[in-house]
């Protein structure tokens, strides 16, 4: 009996009527249109989706110079052959408006960087970033209206110019270092783990429903802290300085289901809250504080499209004019 695991790409969301799905694989024997991501980007038109098959080998660095969706298998896919779509440095180049509107979904990425121009309306979703996300432009405009959600990453660096409005939405992420230079942003339902300050040069932010475990909430000014949990031996008080807010739970154990302190992120951890946690249904929206409140969290990072888990051929031999009997097990992804 032969089992074939595949992804239904026909369900990929096509934001524009004429948008196409281009496929990439660098594995020998895989049927895809392109072997490299840069070749697919060159061939793609603005608004297209590039689906990157999982592989044992990284696809390397890429530069995106037009509005595209790059989609992978997830950073921790739930499959029999759990191959990850891995990229090196992804440069989002917004010269003349270029890559503004780009989405990165379901990928393992070394880092996200940019050219000198500011990018607008960029989405990074269900990705694991190994190093950093740089989201600022020194020439030709500033980066605005980014969404970073359901990701795992060390830190985001925007700009330290607090006169600009950035309007970033950073929600339901696991953050192992912090957020630097984020102004007029919403920081919601994240888990900060580590041993240093979670913020640096953060101003005019709404900071709510987060868990600070080991990491302290210091480094923000003129911001509002609501319904957060801090659990740190020092500097855990909320609010502080020029900040305001209420209903924060200071220096209390959030009671994750499974967590080992001082080891950083691990897929073995379970950041769901125990029934006795002080964060249960205690968020501003009456859901849990932390990553499983609000929009929730995907442990696999698989993109929000239907996934065929198992495609089973029930009869290995088919007579002429006979029928091939198959059984499909599928799962809808939100």
The confidence score (pLDDT) of residue 322 equals 75
Q: Which residues contact 90 (CB under 8 A, 6 or more apart)?
A: 61, 62, 63, 64, 70, 104, 109, 110, 111, 112, 113
CA angle 272-273-278, nearest 5°? 155
- pLDDT at 177 exceeding the cut of 90: yes
The confidence score (pLDDT) of residue 12 equals 43
Averaged pLDDT, 137-151: 82
- pLDDT at 192 exceeding the cut of 50: yes
The confidence score (pLDDT) of residue 139 equals 59
Higher pLDDT among residues 177 and 304, named by residue: 177
Tell me the average pLDDT of the chain: 88
pLDDT in tens, 59-76: 999 999 999 999 999 999
Distance, CA of 187 to CA of 203 (rounded, Å) = 12
pTM above 0.85, yes or no: yes
The confidence score (pLDDT) of residue 319 equals 76
The confidence score (pLDDT) of residue 4 equals 36
pLDDT in tens, 78-117: 877 899 999 999 999 877 668 989 999 999 999 998 766 6
- pLDDT at 2 exceeding the cut of 50: no
- pLDDT at 151 exceeding the cut of 50: yes
Q: Which of 246, 238, 156 is nearest to 202 (CA)?
A: 156
The confidence score (pLDDT) of residue 198 equals 96
Tell me the percentage of the chain whose pLDDT exceeds 90. 67
pLDDT in tens, 309-322: 566 776 667 778 77
- Among 95-109, 206-220, 233-247, 258-272, the range scoring the smallest mean pLDDT is 95-109
What are phi and psi for residue 42, nearest 5 degrees? -60, -40
- pLDDT at 14 exceeding the cut of 50: no
């Amino acid at each position: 009996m032969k089992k074939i695991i595949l992804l239904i790409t026909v369900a990929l969301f096509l934001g524009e009527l004429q948008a196409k799905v281009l496929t990439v694989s660098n594995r020998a024997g895989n049927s895809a249109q392109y072997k490299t991501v840069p070749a697919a980007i060159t061939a793609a038109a603005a608004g297209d989706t590039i689906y990157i098959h999982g592989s044992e080998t990284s696809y390397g660095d890429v530069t995106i110079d037009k509005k595209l969706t790059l989609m992978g298998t997830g950073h921790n896919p739930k499959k029999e052959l759990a191959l990850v779509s891995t990229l090196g440095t992804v440069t989002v180049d917004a010269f003349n408006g270029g890559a503004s509107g780009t989405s990165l979904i379901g990928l393992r990425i070394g880092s996200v960087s940019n050219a000198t121009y500011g990018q607008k309306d960029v989405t990074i979703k269900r990705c694991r970033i190994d190093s950093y996300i740089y989201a600022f432009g020194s020439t030709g405009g500033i980066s605005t209206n980014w969404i970073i959600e359901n990701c795992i990453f060390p830190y985001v660096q925007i700009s330290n110019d607090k006169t600009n409005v950035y309007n970033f939405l950073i929600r339901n992420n696991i953050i192992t270092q912090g957020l630097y230079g984020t102004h007029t942003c919403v920081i919601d339902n994240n888990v900060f783990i580590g041993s240093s300050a979670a913020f640096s040069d953060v101003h005019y932010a709404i900071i709510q429903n987060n868990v600070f475990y080991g990491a302290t909430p210091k480094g923000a000014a003129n911001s509002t802290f609501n319904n957060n949990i801090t659990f740190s031996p020092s500097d855990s008080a909320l609010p502080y300085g020029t900040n305001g807010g209420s209903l924060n739970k200071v220096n209390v154990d959030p009671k994750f289901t499974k967590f080992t302190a001082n080891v950083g992120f691990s897929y073995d951890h379970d950041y769901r809250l125990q029934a006795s946690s002080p964060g249960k249904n205690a968020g501003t929206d009456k859901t849990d504080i932390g990553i499983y409140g609000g929009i929730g969290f995907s442990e696999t990072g698989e993109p929000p499209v239907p996934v065929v888990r198992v495609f089973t051929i029930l009869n290995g031999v088919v007579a002429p004019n006979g029928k091939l009997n198959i059984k499909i097990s599928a799962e809808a992804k939100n």
